[in-house]
Amino acid sequence: MSIEISNESGHEVNETALLAVARNTLDEMGVNPMAELSLLLVDIGYMAELNHRWMEKTGPTDVLAFPMDELDADRGPGADEDGPEPTLLGDVVLCPEVAERQAKVAGHATGDELMLLTVHGILHLLGYDHAEPEEEREMFGLQNRLISAYRRSIGILAVADIPLKPTISDH
């Protein structure tokens, strides 16, 4: 599994933690180990530009996901019909400044919010959405289970600081 991270936000971020939660999420979701993912952290101005250009919304958002390859539901996320060639899942773009604001509102650490947003973005790359109430329940439930699984894997049992329904902005 290849995960690249690029922090162009100007904010100090625990890249190791984001890589770990991304890897754990992809493993838990059964994504092909040859898959490739990119995490990009950007400043608030660039995130506002991306949100306007691609989502036709004004202002910055917390996370955007740009899938690259179509997923084959019969063979699992990240599967490639040619065999061992890597599959490009896509890019997850995060805005630490928006995450920091949301973390304050939710009452948890910015690092926890960024981990939550990383999982959220990956789920979008894997085809999950939250446009409808049923989709939202499924996606946010899965997101919470994945965060809990990651936290257990690093020896943190309590997840009280991660809200059941996070403060994901309407992206």
Q: Is 120 annotated as a binding residue?
A: yes
The CATH fold assigned to 2-153 is Collagenase (Catalytic Domain) (3.40.390)
Domain ranges of the chain: 2-153
**What does the alpha-carbon distance between residue 133 and residue 116 come to, in Å, rounded to a whole number?**
20
HEC string of 43-74? CHHHHHHHHHHHHCCCCCCCEEEEECCCCECC
Q: Which CB contacts under 8 angstroms, 24+ apart, belong to 49-57? A: 50/93, 51/171, 55/171, 57/170, 57/171
Instruction: Please give the pLDDT value at position 73.
Output: 45
Q: What is the mean pLDDT of residues 50-78?
A: 81
Instruction: Please give the pLDDT value at position 171.
Output: 61
Q: Is 124 annotated as a binding residue?
A: yes
Is residue 162's pLDDT more than 80?
no
Q: Is 11 annotated as a binding residue?
A: no
Instruction: Please give the pLDDT value at position 56.
Output: 96
Is residue 18's pLDDT more than 90?
yes
Contact yes or no for 129/110 (Cβ under 8 A): no
60: left (phi over 0), alpha (psi -120 to 50) or beta: beta
The SS3 assignment for 129 reads coil
- Name the pTM for this structure: 0.85
The region of weakest confidence among 50-64, 99-113, 143-157 is 143-157
